Each structure stands twice: as structure tokens, then as C-alpha cells.
């Protein structure tokens, strides 16, 4: 049976993606060894499902659609920059979500039991924290410079966008990085 690498996310829109790209460029000036996420691939993930059987994609899309129909549109504000797990050993560089964070957490919590019931998702140990992955650190090269740049940009504000849908996407891994395709769009109530 064919399998599809699948995740569920909120699109940022072109304006916010472009502002995040400018931030990526500023952080890249540190010379840190970071694999920066392609601008068109910047998003807020709700779930990474991994490899899903092709026959289970439709039930996943239906579950997301049903859940989103019960949720109202909201504003998502992108602000701050940081890293996981900590500045001394950064592995993931991220932009944070301010406004809209509670709505994303509630949406994620409402979707989780539906995905667990479908059997295509395993509950994660860590608590869900809405963020945009800007890049993945590959080595410690220029780590101190990156940490200093993250501190300098800690009060960064990228702006806001209205969230009116959630997307189910596929991710095909290629030598040039992942290529995403939208499998379904789930409109929020009135969105």
C-alpha cells in the first residue's frame, strides 16, 4: 500500500512568509551552520503524521474538515524568535506565535482525539507549542554568534494574518528539500 508523508498546518500567507525570510537572512549573517526552511514552506504545524496509508488520507481530511467547521476564524500574530531546546545547544530556530496561540492550541487539542481514533497519529510526549520553524542547526559552527543574534531579535514582530482554514499537506523529500502539496483545505466556520 502506498504511503504519503503527511502533516496538518496553518499557512502564513505571502506577507508573513516574506517577513520571516528577511529574519532568516539576518540570522544567516551570523555564519551559523543552519539549513534554512524554504520561504514557500514556512507554516505553523498542528500535527506531523508521518507516513500515512493512502487509503487513510480521505478520513484524515474529513476529520480535519469536521473539526474546523466547529472553530471560528482568528488572527495569528508572529513575533519573537528563539530556538529549541536552548541557546547553548540550538537545534531548531523558530519564530513564535503571540496572538492566536490559544486558538491554535485549542484547535490542536480538538483534532488530536480524532487523529488518535483513526490510528494514524501517536500522541507526543511534549506539549504543543505553536511556532514557525525557520531552520535546523546542523553543527555548532558560529553557535555563539547565532545565540547573540537570537537575543538581539528576541523582540522581533513579523505581523499578523487572518486564519480561515487549515491545510492537510503531503511532503515529498527530495535532494533539494521537501516539496509540499495541499491534499485538502478545511475552512473554519464562516471562513
Report the catalytic residues: 43, 131
User: How far is Cα 54 from Cα 120, in angstroms, rounded to an integer?
Assistant: 11
DSSP 7-42: EEEEE--HHHHHHHHHHHHHHHTT---EEEPPGGG-
For residue 50 the three cell numbers come to: 508521518
CA distance 16 to 159: 7
Distance in angstroms (rounded) separating the CA atoms of residues 60 and 51: 12
DSSP, res 71: S
> What would the grid cell of residue 58 be?
480521505
* Adjacent-strand bridge partners of 179: 172
Cβ contact 93:83 at 8 Å: yes
Amino acid at each position: 500500500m502506498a504511503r504519503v508523508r503527511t502533516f496538518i498546518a496553518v499557512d502564513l500567507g505571502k506577507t508573513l512568509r516574506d517577513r520571516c525570510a528577511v529574519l532568516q537572512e539576518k540570522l544567516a549573517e551570523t555564519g551559523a551552520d543552519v539549513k534554512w526552511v524554504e520561504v514557500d514552506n514556512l507554516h505553523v504545524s498542528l500535527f506531523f503524521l508521518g507516513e500515512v496509508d493512502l487509503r487513510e488520507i480521505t478520513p484524515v481530511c474529513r476529520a480535519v474538515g469536521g473539526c474546523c467547521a466547529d472553530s471560528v476564524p482568528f488572527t495569528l500574530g508572529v513575533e519573537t524568535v528563539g530556538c529549541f531546546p536552548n541557546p547553548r545547544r540550538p537545534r531548531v530556530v523558530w519564530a513564535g506565535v503571540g496572538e492566536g496561540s490559544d486558538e491554535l492550541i485549542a484547535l490542536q487539542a480538538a483534532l488530536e482525539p480524532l487523529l488518535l481514533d483513526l490510528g494514524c497519529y501517536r500522541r507526543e510526549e511534549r506539549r504543543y507549542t505553536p511556532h514557525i520553524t525557520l531552520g535546523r542547526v546542523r553543527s555548532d559552527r558560529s553557535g555563539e554568534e547565532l545565540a547573540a543574534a537570537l537575543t538581539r531579535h528576541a523582540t522581533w514582530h513579523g505581523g499578523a494574518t487572518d486564519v480561515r482554514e487549515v491545510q492537510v499537506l503531503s511532503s515529498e523529500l527530495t535532494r533539494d528539500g521537501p516539496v509540499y502539496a495541499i491534499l485538502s483545505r478545511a475552512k473554519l466556520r464562516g471562513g
